[in-house]
Amino acid sequence: MSIIVNGSATPLPPDPRVSLLDLLREHLKLTGTKKGCNQGACGACTVLLDGERVVSCLTLAVQAEGRAVTTVEGLAQSDKLHPLQQAFIDRDGFQCGYCTPGQICSAIGMAAELERGVPSHVTGDLTAGTIAASREELAERMSGNLCRCGAHNGIIDAIAATFISKEAAQPYRPDGPEMAA
């Protein structure tokens, strides 16, 4: 009767009403994961559940029994930041930082989806084996994470620099050429 949070087994809360988000923040004091809207609209509470990105506010902790949860606290290796964390710093991927842990967890899940060939709303050819990670694709795939400071361009730059290529992460120009995969 436990959940694996960042590699450590954690007992389930006795009350099934406890959300995964509240378990993380209030019971385990892992406050990196943020509570924004608490209704699945903002993505600030995004964590990885068995490697898949989910919103922890609408996940009951009991539903995660026996599964592995990764939060933003589980990404760095001791003092060495995850490359995406460093890229957020290097590319101005945030201002206030409240949405950042959700953005980062979401982007890691997103990169795995892209690698697996999961199509998106803006994918032209649904049957293509590989999907070019255009800026449009990245923006669509990150639409579940809102940034009220408006750092979205830096966020996409950081994601592109980490998972696609350094060349792909040129600062955003509205009329510029689409970046290649």
Partner 1 sequence: MTPFQYSRATSAAEAVQSAGLEAAKYLGGGTNLVDLMRETIERPAVLVDVTGLSANIDEREGGLLIGAAVRNTALAEHRVVRERYPVLARAILAGASAQIRNMATVGGNILQRTRCAYFYDDEGSRCNKRTPGQGCDALDGFNRMHAILGTSPACVATHPSDMCVALAALDATVHLEGRQGRRTLALTDLHRLPGDHPEIETVLEPGELITAVELPPLTMASTYRKVRDRASYAFALVSVAAALRVEDGAVKAVRLALGGVAHKPWRAWKAEAALKDGPVTAEAFRAAAEAELADAAPLRDNAFKIELAKRTMVSVLGELAGEAA
Residue 46 interacts with partner 1 (CB under 8 A): yes or no: yes
Which CB atom, from 2 or from 8, has the smaller least distance to partner 1?
A: 2
C-alpha angle 42-163-9 in degrees, rounded to nearest 5: 65
Residue 43 interacts with partner 1 (CB under 8 A): yes or no: yes
Residue 117 interacts with partner 1 (CB under 8 A): yes or no: yes
Bridge partners (DSSP) listed for residue 55 = 46
Residue 118 interacts with partner 1 (CB under 8 A): yes or no: yes
Q: What's the one-letter identity of residue 21? A: L
Q: Minimum distance from CB of 161 to partner 1 (Å)?
A: 20
**Which range in 26-34, 80-88, 93-101, 115-123 contacts partner 1 by CB under 8 A?**
115-123
- In the set 4, 26, 27, 58, which binds partner 1 (CB under 8 A)? 58
**Residue 98, token pair as written in the block:** 């409240």
Which CB atom, from 38 or from 86, has the smaller least distance to partner 1?
A: 38
Bridge-based pairing of strands 2-5 and 8-11 is antiparallel
What's the distance, CA 59 to chain centroid? 16
DSSP H helical segments within the chain, as ranges? Answer: 20-22, 83-90, 100-116, 135-141, 152-159
Q: Minimum distance from CB of 113 to partner 1 (Å)?
A: 7
- In the set 92, 113, 149, 170, which binds partner 1 (CB under 8 A)? 113
**Residue 64, token pair as written in the block:** 């995660």
Residue 36 interacts with partner 1 (CB under 8 A): yes or no: no
Q: Minimum distance from CB of 28 to partner 1 (Å)?
A: 20
Dump the DSSP string for 103-152: HHHHHHHHHHHHHHT---TT-S-TT-SS----HHHHHHHTTTS--TT--H
Binding residues (CB under 8 A) for partner 1: these are 15-17, 19, 38-40, 43, 46, 52-55, 58-60, 62-63, 106, 109-110, 113, 116-121, 123, 126-127, 139-141, 143-145
